[in-house]
A = this chain, B = another copy of it.
């Protein structure tokens, strides 16, 4: 059952699950992926240090942002799992996460701006619109330059490849 809290108490997987809203099975899965860690009781049951709550919560955030778990692993970087992370550890982690967020936001803003242009001209034209010419979607080309200028050039019939 549940136990009152004491300073350096460890959490069972059930407590972790209840407090993070993440299923026990998912917690075990995260552990398999080395996103979190636990210690074991003499009877082989998992016990989590409290700072794992933060990690799990950040994993949830990442999921809300559509970030794959492999990236989450990287994003945690040097935040230690075997000891309580220091203030500085979390600060670095925060900054890393913030950069991730910024990147995503900027990419969305770019798309928004481009889409605004498309609404303006009503075109949604394929070749003129950077929105519709994503750099990463075309497997053949690496991360290449893309055109961001002239929204109006003409319509889809155009001579791009014809």
Contacts and interface: CB of A to CB of B under 8 A. Distances in A.
The residue among A19, A143, A148 with the most chain B CB atoms within 10 A of its own CB is A148
Interface string A1-27: 111110111100000001111100000
A90 B151 contact: no
Per assembly, the copies of the chain total 2
A5 to B, nearest CB: 5
Interface of A is mostly: loop
B88 A50 contact: no
16 contacts: A2-B157, A20-B135, A39-B150, A51-B144, A53-B126, A60-B134, A78-B161, A81-B153, A83-B147, A87-B122, A87-B123, A90-B124, A92-B161, A93-B124, A94-B119, A101-B111
